[in-house]
């Protein structure tokens, strides 16, 4: 298995314009809304699968997949808020 990226969001966040009031603000709001929605669907599907899986699989999914998805969704929701509320910067 390969090493996980210690900063998985770096490339994505670096691609954003520096100014939240940038002309393509609506594009970033839409991108983050879609990204959050997609990951929330993945999280729901994972939770549904875990609910009917054997205990060891449920434990693994809760510790790995579900926890990671929840963390990423929270991060993307913060970025969405940043873009939806133009003028704030967290860089």
Residue length of the chain: 91
pLDDT at 89 over 70: no
Please, which pLDDT band fits residue 80 given cuts at 50, 70 and 90?
Answer: very high
- Evaluated on CA atoms 28, 13, 76, 62, the torsion sign reads positive
3-state secondary structure of 90: coil
CB 35 within 8 A of CB 16: no
| CA 54 to centroid of chain Cα atoms | 27
Say whether pTM exceeds 0.95: no
Phi then psi dihedrals of residue 74, to 5 deg: -60, -45
What pLDDT score was predicted for residue 2? 46
């Amino acid at each position: 298995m390969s090493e996980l990226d210690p900063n998985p969001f770096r490339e994505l966040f670096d691609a954003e314009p520096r100014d939240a009031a940038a002309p393509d603000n609506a594009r970033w709001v839409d991108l983050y809304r879609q990204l959050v929605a997609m990951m929330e669907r993945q999280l729901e599907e994972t939770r549904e699968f875990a609910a009917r899986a054997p205990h060891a699989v449920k434990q693994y999914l809760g510790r790995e997949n579900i926890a990671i998805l929840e963390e990423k969704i929270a991060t993307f929701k913060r970025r969405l808020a940043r873009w939806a509320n133009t003028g704030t910067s967290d860089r």
